[in-house]
Amino acid sequence: MEPLIITIARETGSGGTSIAKKLSEAFNIPYYDRELITMASDISGISENLFGINDERIGWKEIFSSAKKVYTGEILPPDSDDYISTRNLFSFQAKVIKDLVQTESCIIIGRCANYLLQDNPNVIRLFVCAEEEYKFNHLKEMHVADTAAGIAKYMQKEDKRRSAYYHYYTGEEWRDVTGYDLCLDTSKYGIDGCAEIVKQMIPILRKK
């Protein structure tokens, strides 16, 4: 049987990671989130902390820059002045993702994986969204901030950073539905409902 690769892009607070866990259990395949940081650090020798700081985000300078660093696949050598640049950190993480899907079925959360793996015939690309109130309540349960204003600010900031990060390295729009095979609204169907939809749709999506 062909490997099953699922990528999950998600709005902050939408429950995308929870869906990944449900699908991981259902299909008995691993899901990768921050583990990708450790793997990229291991193969590059670059501090894991540095990867963590730049995980799914770029600096405000890059956000407002007109010059994008669309991913080319190039990895710079250790003697390069830009070896620990954000661009090279992204390239190492992209390498980890591409190598993983060559050896196993798995679920990749975020990190432009839908773009990086768009030419892989075994990939099913999901986007998870939700209404603002649902995301707010989810983040409240996660205690991301002490006040309602703080939660709203966190949600807006994180989505803005994810969107900017995606556009910076892909040249495309994060919420553009043409970049995904299936979009799921957890505020309508819930975590369990969305996971069930994916399970039911897998046979159809694998024939796309």
Convert the pLDDT of each residue in 189-203 to its tens digit.
999 999 999 999 998
Q: Please state the pTM of the whole predicted model.
A: 0.93
pLDDT, mean of residues 128-156: 96
Query: What is the mean predicted confidence (pLDDT) over 103-116?
Result: 97
Bridge partners of 125, per DSSP, are 7
Q: What is the rounded CA–CA span in Å between residue 107 and residue 57?
A: 20
Domain around 154: 5-205
**CATH code for position 70:** 3.40.50.300
pLDDT given for residue 71 in this prediction: 87
Backbone angles phi, psi at 128, to 5 degrees: -110, 125
Predicted local confidence at residue 205, as pLDDT: 84
Q: Compute the residue count for the chain.
A: 208
Question: What is the structure's pLDDT at 62?
Answer: 63
Return the number of other C-beta atoms located less than 10 Å from residue 113's C-beta.
27
Average confidence (pLDDT) over 2-14? 96
Orientation of helix 35-44 relative to helix 86-103, angle to 10°: 110
At residue 72, what are phi and psi to the nearest 5 degrees?
A: -115, -10
* Mean of per-residue pLDDT scores for the chain: 93
Neighbour count for residue 127 (Cβ, 10 Å) = 23
- Please tell me the predicted confidence (pLDDT) of residue 5: 97
Q: Which helix (H) or strand (E) holds 147?
A: none
The number of folded domains in the chain is: 1
Structural contact between residues 177 and 127, judged by C-beta atoms closer than 8 angstroms: yes
Reported confidence tier of residue 178, pLDDT bands at 50, 70, 90: very high
- From residue 208, give the alpha-carbon distance in Å to each of 81, 120, 121, 161, 181: 43, 12, 9, 31, 9
Residue with tokens 């994008």: 68
Q: What is the mean pLDDT of residues 120-142?
A: 96
DSSP 111: T
The answer to whether residues 18 and 136 touch, using CB atoms and an 8 Å cutoff, is: no
| pLDDT tier at 58, thresholds 50, 70, 90 | confident
At residue 206 the predicted structure's pLDDT band, cuts being 50, 70 and 90, is: confident
What whole-number distance in Å separates Cα of residue 41 and Cα of residue 130?
A: 33
pLDDT at 111 exceeding the cut of 90:
yes
- Identity at 208, one-letter amino acid code: K
pLDDT range class, residue 60, cuts 50, 70, 90: low
Q: Calculate mean pLDDT across residues 103-117.
A: 97
Contacts with 47 (C-beta within 8 Å, 6 or more apart), sequence order: 41
Region 106-130 average pLDDT = 97
